[in-house]
Structure 1
Amino acid sequence: MRLLSRILTGLVLLLGTGWAALALALTGAGPEGAHLVRALPALVLVAVAVALWRRSSWRVAVAVVVAGCAAIYGWVRTVQPSDQRDWAPDLARAARAEVDGTRVTIHDVRDFRYRSTTDWDASWYTATYDTRELTGAWFIVEPFSGFYGAAHTMVSFGFADGRYVVFSVEVRREKGETFSALGGLFRQFELIYVVGDERDLIQLRSNHRKDDVYLYPVDASKERIATFFLDMVARMNALHERPEFYDTLTSNCTTNLVRHVEKVSAVKVPYDHRTLLPAYSDALAYELGLIEKDAPLEVVRARHRINVQAMAANGQPDFSRRIREAGATAASTP
């Protein structure tokens, strides 16, 4: 029993002070990176706790660490999100919309033209969409090369006039800032709904980042898709009015999409590794019947990998039509 209490006390001290150090160093950190000096109180906390453990009891040491973590958590909660920062150029504008019945006018739809991932011509436009003209929705999955289970997910909506608009839930980076999954746990980044043309948001990923991109038609009624679209617009507008922090575990690209799905349908989405590791989110969508299930999942994946079509359609005005063309399945199968 004595050995067990020592082990548990050691774990509390290690995990508690580790969390405290990360919270102090990363919370609110911007392009300058982690504030290492600010993390020094965590070292003082562990030193005091260890000294008390040796001279008094493990209960006192644990109480000190818990109290210290509670105080730091209270400070963390005082750090507030902002929409007034020196944003990275591709995230400089946050989309917003005006809704008039079935007509939705979206401002700052992104439409960049890329020569590489770091060289582009910036462009935004305003467009009006009518939910009565919706023809479908597509679930997009972009697994990240070299990162097990990591991926980005998006949703695209198509309209009868041939236009497509993509909603992408992302980290809103500042100039010089890079994404960190660890930083995303400690209020380091704001959340943004990027709304853009498929020639921007899909082509960037398939043709320039060279990541696999899967484009799955969503199996849902037109009415449900319209409700889904309007719910994403409402969330986008809410973020424009009241900024929020991105959270790697609870408010990322996939968990936000899950909340939209649950709001507009009777589907209860389980929170498991397929949500935490979005590279497997298509497996979850497949299980729930949100994408087609007429073949084994690996066959469905191969059918909807659009990299071959995207490369062939590079820079073309009918990019969206071309990436939906059948016939490249065999060539695109890994």
Structure 2
Amino acid sequence: MTLFSLRIARALTFTLLFALTLAVGIWGTLAFAISGPENVFLRNSLSGLFGASSLICLIALTQPRWRWRALIAFAVVFMLTLVWWSSVKPSNDRNWQEGVAVLPWAKIEGDLVTVHNIRNIDYLSETDYTVNYYDKSFDLRKLEGVDVVTVHWMGPAIAHVFLSFAFAGDQHLAISIETRNQKGEGYSTLKGFFRQYELHYVVADERDVIRLRTNFRKNPPEDVYVYRARGMNGDGQRLFLEYLTQINKLKTTPAFYNTLTTNCTTNIWLNSRVNPDNLPLSWKILASGYLAEYLYENDRLETKGMSFAELQKQAWINPRAHAVDKADNFSQLIRMPAISR
């Protein structure tokens, strides 16, 4: 190796160590600040100490005499932090908000599936509502399709995505993967990285999860699109059963939501791996607002020969949802021909 090559290798190694130390420092500082002990003083102190130790390590990296000693010391601090981090456990026993207080579960007997605790909230406003639940049986052989529902509220790149399973007789069961919030707790994208929310599958009537977003959320308003997935057949049945498997698992073994890795869209993709022809992971899955376009590009949506722009216009259901409100045949009516925007 030439002297020049050796210098390049050392520079790259230094850059990598510096970037890694900086990333770990930011993560650990935020982890203690957000998920640390309940005592505010202790939480802030641990966050400050970790931040200070990472800063000292970064400075020491520029000094060859202290570089490796500082890295070893910081590695010890990081390992102790990981021991603490592993002690942060999810729970099903918290003071939950009413809408997520009751967990759904399913009994599977061959082709007959009975889903318990299907949510059907009666809304007066986004925050004023009565929570109702019911049980219902579904015949897997009568699964006719799977709809992909995307909800946009802050531009094209960001969307909440969930699935609705369509059975014969205009029966629809929506399953939305969300955070399970405690009373008085709102959602924070940043906190979602740090084990602050349990993962929750909302199993609900469409008049609940769709109508909430089209008719009641105003600040900001939300645009809802319903797309029919193409050619599901046996894939749809396997996907539905995989969803129910995960729902039953969460009832006994809670898990954390993660903003990047365990969210509404990545979990749809993870569940879809039960099928042999599932799509590869793409940035359009991580940037969830583009998921429908990704499915369109891979011939996974029923398009009727339309461009994606035309299909999206037809899939927009807000005017129909406003018009039909809480009609008994809500699911059928919102799928009628589109109203011009």
Q: TM-score, normalised by structure 2?
A: 0.88
Query: Is the 2:28–2:51 contact (alpha carbons within 8 Å) kept by the matching residues of 1?
Result: no
Question: CA 1:285/1:35 → structure 2, altered by over 3 Å: closer, same or farther?
Answer: farther
2:181 is aligned to 173
1:90 is aligned to 99
Question: CA 1:163/1:50 → structure 2, altered by over 3 Å: closer, same or farther?
Answer: closer
2:66 is aligned to 57
2:87 is aligned to 78
Following superposition, the deviation at residue 244 of structure 1 comes to 0.8
Following superposition, the deviation at residue 226 of structure 1 comes to 1.6
Question: CA 1:149/1:51 → structure 2, altered by over 3 Å: closer, same or farther?
Answer: closer
- The yes-or-no answer on 1:276 pairing with 2:286 is yes
- In the alignment, structure 1 segments of 5+ residues that lack a partner are none
1:67 is aligned to 76
Instruction: Give the alignment of 1:151-166 within 5 angstroms.
Output: 151-166=159-174
Determine which structure has more spread, i.e. the larger CA radius of gyration: 2
* Residues in 2 aligned to 1:29 and 1:230: alpha-carbon distance in whole angstroms: 39
User: Which range moves more in the overlay, 105-114 or 2-11?
Assistant: 2-11
Following superposition, the deviation at residue 111 of structure 1 comes to 0.1
Following superposition, the deviation at residue 5 of structure 1 comes to 7.4
Secondary structure in structure 2 of the residue aligned to 1:192: strand
Percent of residue pairs bearing the same amino acid type: 29
Secondary structure in structure 2 of the residue aligned to 1:219: coil
Query: Is the 2:151–2:223 contact (alpha carbons within 8 Å) kept by the matching residues of 1?
Result: yes
* Residues in 1 aligned to 2:195 and 2:213: alpha-carbon distance in whole angstroms: 26
Task: State the AA in 2 paired with 1:133.
Answer: K
2:278 is aligned to 267
* Residues in 2 aligned to 1:240 and 1:147: alpha-carbon distance in whole angstroms: 34
- The yes-or-no answer on 1:198 pairing with 2:211 is no
Question: CA 1:105/1:28 → structure 2, altered by over 3 Å: closer, same or farther?
Answer: farther
- In the alignment, structure 2 segments of 5+ residues that lack a partner are 1-6
2:223 is aligned to 212
2:269 is aligned to 258
Following superposition, the deviation at residue 36 of structure 1 comes to 3.2
Query: Is the 2:174–2:203 contact (alpha carbons within 8 Å) kept by the matching residues of 1?
Result: yes
Query: Is the 1:9–1:58 contact (alpha carbons within 8 Å) kept by the matching residues of 2?
Result: no
Following superposition, the deviation at residue 224 of structure 1 comes to 2.1
Listed one character per residue, the Cα deviations across residues 25-79 of structure 1 (whole Å, up to 9, x for unaligned) are 223789x9x9434412213413543574559333333333343223212321221
* Residues in 1 aligned to 2:277 and 2:36: alpha-carbon distance in whole angstroms: 37
* Residues in 1 aligned to 2:143 and 2:67: alpha-carbon distance in whole angstroms: 63
- The yes-or-no answer on 1:112 pairing with 2:121 is yes
RMSD, aligned α-carbons: 2.4
Residue in structure 1 matching 2:308, options 297, 310, 334: 297
Query: Is the 1:29–1:188 contact (alpha carbons within 8 Å) kept by the matching residues of 2?
Result: no
1:18 is aligned to 26
Following superposition, the deviation at residue 9 of structure 1 comes to 5.7
Secondary structure in structure 2 of the residue aligned to 1:263: coil
1:313 is aligned to 324
Q: TM-score, normalised by structure 1?
A: 0.89
Residue in structure 1 matching 2:336, options 313, 325, 328: 325
Query: Is the 2:156–2:290 contact (alpha carbons within 8 Å) kept by the matching residues of 1?
Result: no
* Residues in 1 aligned to 2:322 and 2:37: alpha-carbon distance in whole angstroms: 38
* Residues in 1 aligned to 2:27 and 2:302: alpha-carbon distance in whole angstroms: 42
* Residues in 1 aligned to 2:155 and 2:75: alpha-carbon distance in whole angstroms: 34
Following superposition, the deviation at residue 276 of structure 1 comes to 1.2
Following superposition, the deviation at residue 149 of structure 1 comes to 2.1
Secondary structure in structure 2 of the residue aligned to 1:181: coil
Following superposition, the deviation at residue 8 of structure 1 comes to 5.7
1:101 is aligned to 110
1:243 is aligned to 254
Query: Is the 2:175–2:201 contact (alpha carbons within 8 Å) kept by the matching residues of 1?
Result: yes
Following superposition, the deviation at residue 13 of structure 1 comes to 4.3
1:231 is aligned to 242
2:195 is aligned to 187
Residue in structure 1 matching 2:132, options 106, 123, 132: 123
* Residues in 2 aligned to 1:136 and 1:9: alpha-carbon distance in whole angstroms: 50
* Residues in 2 aligned to 1:47 and 1:137: alpha-carbon distance in whole angstroms: 51
